[in-house]
Amino acid sequence: VIQFEILGRAFRVTRPISDSLEAGLRSRWDFPEYRCDPHPFKLEIEHGSTPTGFPTTASSSMLELFAGTVECWNLEPVIWIGDVTTGIRIELLEGQMIAHTWGVPANIELFHLAIAEGLRASGLISLHASIAARHGQALAFLGPSGRGKTTTLLHSLEAGFVPVCEDFAWCDPDTLKVFGFDRGLRLLPDTAKFFETQFGITPSIWQVDKWFVPYSSLNFERRAVNLKTIALLERDPEQPTDFGPLSKREAALAFWEASGMPLSRSVQDRVSQQIAGMVSRLEVRRLLLGQGTIPFEQV
Partner 1 sequence: MTGMNYRHNPNVVVTDLDDELVLLDPVSKQMFSLNVIGRLLWLELPRLGLNGALEQITKSFAVSPEQAREDAVSLIEHLFNSKLLELTDPVTDSGTLEVT
Residue 247 found at the interface with partner 1 (CB under 8 A): yes
Binding of partner 1 by 275 (CB under 8 A): yes
Query: H or E element: which one contains 278?
Result: helix 265-281
Q: Which residues face 89 on adjacent strands?
A: 80, 100
Number of Cβ within 10 Å of residue 160's Cβ equals 10
Closest approach of partner 1 to the CB of residue 245, in Å: 14
Q: How far is CA 212 from CA 161, 239, 251, in A?
A: 19, 32, 30
Calculate ∠ Cα 182-153-214, nearest 5°: 35
* Smallest distance from partner 1 to CB 118, Å: 19
65 counts as binding partner 1 under rule CB under 8 A: no
Answer whether 223's CB lies under 8 Å from 178's CB: no
Closer to partner 1 by Cβ: residue 61 or 145: 61
Site for partner 1 in 91-130 (CB under 8 A): none
Q: Choose, by CB under 8 A, the member of 4, 253, 282, 283 that binds partner 1.
A: 253
Q: Are strands 61-65 and 68-75 parallel, antiparallel or unpaired?
A: antiparallel
CB of 28 to partner 1, least distance (A): 24
247 or 298, CB closer to partner 1?
Answer: 247
Nearest CA among 27, 33, 45 for reference residue 8? 33
Contact by Cβ (8 Å): 232, 250: yes
Q: Considering beta carbons, is residue 231 or 284 the nearer one to partner 1? A: 284
280 binds partner 1 (CB under 8 A): yes
* Interface with partner 1 (CB under 8 A): 61, 247-250, 252-253, 256-257, 261, 265, 268-269, 272-273, 275-276, 279-280
